[in-house]
Amino acid sequence: MPLSFAPEGHLVRVVCIRAGRGLSRRLIEMGIAPGKVLRVVRTLGAGPVIIEVCGDKSKSVSDRCNLCCTSCGNRIVIGFGTAMKILVEEVARRE
């Protein structure tokens, strides 16, 4: 499903990025690559999302995140156009 439709508060894993060269590259440079786990902090439902990057493919959640990422705090706003190009799958529900 596109990241834009991911439910709020859930953890999702990036499956693939269907974007042009420049954009895919920029996403990777910001840590959003296939295999990474993201926490959906806020969505507006089929609109932009706010996410936190939680970890990499080896672990579902990074070592650095305690409280399942609430303390990570490094959030990224992803606009609708871009969020539709990031395909994700659900990992686990929070709590």
Report the interface residues with other proteins, using CB under 8 A: 19-31, 33, 42, 44-45, 47-48, 50, 56, 63-64, 66-67, 70-71, 73-85
Q: What is the 3-state secondary structure (H, E, C) of the chain?
A: CEHHHCCCCCEEEEEEECCCHHHHHHHHHCCCCCCCEEEEEEECCCCCEEEEEEECCCCCCCCCCCHHHCCCCCEEEECHHHHCCEEEEEEECCC
Least distance between other proteins and beta carbon 40 (Å) = 13
Measured from the CB atom, the residue of 16 and 92 that comes closer to other proteins is 16
Measured from the CB atom, the residue of 11 and 43 that comes closer to other proteins is 43
Measured from the CB atom, the residue of 63 and 95 that comes closer to other proteins is 63
